[in-house]
Amino acid sequence: MKKTMIITIAMMLLVGCASTGSGSTESRGSSDMPSWFLVPPTAEDALYGVGQAKKQNPSLAKQTATARARTEISQAVNVKVASLLKDFMQESGIGDNAQATEFSQAVTKQVTNNSLQGSAIKEAYVAKDGTIYILVEYSLNSVRQNALDAAKKEEALYNEFKANQGFDALEKAISDLD
């Protein structure tokens, strides 16, 4: 009887240790994902963002993952952060009968609003479980070119305004002659 009990306990220990082994991907929380997801590439002339989504509809999953990747890039370009921390402590009573209450609350809001014209999907990966991973690249050359184009447009508008002022002054001078 003792031998049966010892063998049963030993088998239970072996089965228990085997199911919680450190080599199991389930126990570590990792899954089938591309290497670039946790450590996106870096470059001097581009920004990269990653996103992932798991949906029943693969098209919706791709759109969602792409939107999340672009949001990550947009936050790298410019983000407004509002943060609030509430910390409350109270104690009442005397000696061992004292009771303490503590409450902490942290709220953070991040808002970004940028135009990422020229951003494109650089890589896509579909995991075994159907999760879609997207890597988006945003060329900083596009940013520079867009800024130059905007500056040229502003300059052209200013020059047109100044020319119109000149024509208006000429018309006024001619009408003053009459």
Query: What is the model's pTM?
Result: 0.56
Helix (H) or strand (E) segment spanning residue 103: strand 99-111
User: Does 13 reside within a domain?
Assistant: no
Domain that holds residue 71: 31-177
User: Does 161 reside within a domain?
Assistant: yes
Which pLDDT does position 78 carry in this prediction? 85
User: Does 96 reside within a domain?
Assistant: yes
Q: Which of 23-37, 51-65, 76-90 has the lowest mean pLDDT?
A: 23-37
User: Does 1 reside within a domain?
Assistant: no
Helix (H) or strand (E) segment spanning residue 27: helix 25-28
User: Does 24 reside within a domain?
Assistant: no
Number of domains in the chain: 1
Rounded distance, CA 15 to CA 118, Å?
Answer: 55
Rounded distance, CA 29 to CA 19, Å?
Answer: 15
Question: How many residues does the structure list for the chain?
Answer: 178
In this structure, how many other beta carbons lie within 10 angstroms of the beta carbon of residue 54? 14
User: Does 19 reside within a domain?
Assistant: no
DSSP 56: S
∠ CA 148-151-156 to the nearest 5 degrees?
125
Q: Is the pLDDT of residue 19 over 90?
A: no
In this structure, how many other beta carbons lie within 10 angstroms of the beta carbon of residue 86? 9
Between 5 and 173, the more confident residue is: 173
User: Does 134 reside within a domain?
Assistant: yes
The 10s digit of each residue's pLDDT in 124-157 is 999 999 999 999 999 888 667 766 777 778 877 7
Rounded distance, CA 62 to CA 26, Å?
Answer: 25
Q: Which residues of 8-32 are buried (b: 16+ CB within 10 A; e: fewer)?
A: eeeeeeeeeeeeeeeeeeeeeeeee
